[in-house]
Amino acid sequence: MLSMPSPDNPVRISILVAARNEEQNIERCLRSLDLLDFPKEQLEIIIGDDDSEDNTAWITQQFSAGKPEFKYVKITSRISGLKGKANVLAQLAHIARGEYFFYCDADIEVQPGWASQMLSHFKQKTGVVVGVTRMKKNRHLLADMLSMEWLFALTAMRFFSHFKIPITGMGNNMAVTREAYFKIGGYEKIGFSIVEDYALFMGIVRGGFDFEMAYKTEVISISEPVNTFPELLRQRKRWMHGVMESYWVTRLSLFVSSLIVPILFLLSIWFPINPVSSIVQYYVLVTAISLTAVVLLKQPDLWKAALLFWFYMVSIGLIMLVNYYLPSRTVWKGREY
């Protein structure tokens, strides 16, 4: 059962936003948060500026002026060996007063009903709720493929959630209870991870709390896509750390989907299978799941991407594996990890 805010502390939801060098995106994010259909007196929005080197601070402070629910915090120190986004969110958690911590990236645009719809998924033992994200519409083919990738993965996560199999969290659209966060010791106890959302999600699940997926149109958040292939490689280098630390089902599915074509041809040497027929069947399966996601989440603009997604998935999976194992540093937001 959801608890109500006390008269001494009316804040029910604290939205925590970590921002670094987001002058191109931060105002769009703040405007969407300002339009949330949720009582202002029960809401606080805390933006942690991770020592940005651009106009992120000025834009945030100008927008927040006269809006008491918005709070700007400059983050210049590190705690408990943390760095990057994990360090920012750890510090914001100690400032936040809400019973629930909602996470949203600085390049995300949320829907007006996001907060209330996510909140409705918390039950008595729920510690974490994961939402749905896609890219902006009508940008370019890569953006559509990235959107389809999110929806495909989240549909798979939704399937496994019915069997209580945890896959991963999603730092751009996720919410946790204050109780769960501090019971597991927060990011200070979890320790540094470049994929802090996965680390927090799994920490809460391993701490004995249930998880839920808010698999519905009303909670879909809109992200800014990467626009170039080098940007995509840098992003995926970071993501692969999360995949390799995740549940075995996730790791296995990545290897199988990435290497499915050579695997089937090799198997055909020893077993009586037709590799071409098997590849066609795999294409049909992936496309069926993709189209199901498009229909269930009401994203009709992605139907063409759904038909092409198998080719993208096989290609990007192999590229991610090669890129991950190449001896290079992970660079994100101008910092090396």
Q: What angle do CA 106, 108, 228 make, to 5 degrees?
A: 90
Task: Say what the pLDDT of residue 120 is.
Answer: 97
Return the higher-pLDDT residue of 193 and 78.
Answer: 78
Q: What is the pTM of this model?
A: 0.88
Per residue in 31-44, pLDDT tens? Answer: 999 999 999 999 99
How far is residue 290's CA from residue 288's CA, in Å, rounded to a whole number?
Answer: 5
How far is residue 214's CA from residue 133's CA, in Å, rounded to a whole number?
Answer: 11
Pick from 1-15, 290-304, 322-336 the range whose average pLDDT is largest: 290-304
- Of 3-12, 143-152, 183-192, 198-207, the least confident: 3-12
Q: What is the mean pLDDT of residues 89-108?
A: 96
How far is residue 66's CA from residue 195's CA, in Å, rounded to a whole number?
Answer: 34
Q: Which domains does the chain have, with CATH numbers?
A: 13-131+170-227 (3.90.550.10), 245-336 (no CATH)
Task: Say what the pLDDT of residue 330 is.
Answer: 63
Residue 332 has pLDDT above 60, yes or no: no
Burial string for 220-247 (b: 16+ CB within 10 Å, else e) reads bbbbbbbeeeeebbbebbbbbbbbebbb
Work out the mean pLDDT of the chain and round it to a whole number: 89
How far is residue 281's CA from residue 296's CA, in Å, rounded to a whole number?
Answer: 22
The token pair at 141 is 């083919």
Q: What is the mean pLDDT of residues 314-324?
A: 82
Per residue in 209-223, pLDDT tens? Answer: 999 999 999 999 999
Confidence band, pLDDT 50/70/90 cuts, at residue 226? confident
Confidence band, pLDDT 50/70/90 cuts, at residue 1? very low
Confidence band, pLDDT 50/70/90 cuts, at residue 154? very high
Return the higher-pLDDT residue of 238 and 25.
Answer: 25
How far is residue 45's CA from residue 15's CA, in Å, rounded to a whole number?
Answer: 5
Q: What is the mean pLDDT of residues 170-188?
A: 95
- Of 53-57, 138-142, 252-256, 292-296, the least confident: 252-256
Amino acid, res. 246:
S
Return the higher-pLDDT residue of 317 and 305.
Answer: 305
Q: What is the mean pLDDT of residues 102-117?
A: 96
Task: Say what the pLDDT of residue 38 is.
Answer: 97
Task: Say what the pLDDT of residue 242 is.
Answer: 64
Confidence band, pLDDT 50/70/90 cuts, at residue 92? very high
How far is residue 259's CA from residue 257's CA, in Å, rounded to a whole number?
Answer: 6
The token pair at 136 is 């902006």
Residue 118 has pLDDT above 70, yes or no: yes
Confidence band, pLDDT 50/70/90 cuts, at residue 67? very high
Task: Say what the pLDDT of residue 73 is.
Answer: 97
Task: Say what the pLDDT of residue 130 is.
Answer: 97
Per residue in 282-300, pLDDT tens? Answer: 999 999 999 999 999 999 9
Confidence band, pLDDT 50/70/90 cuts, at residue 2? very low
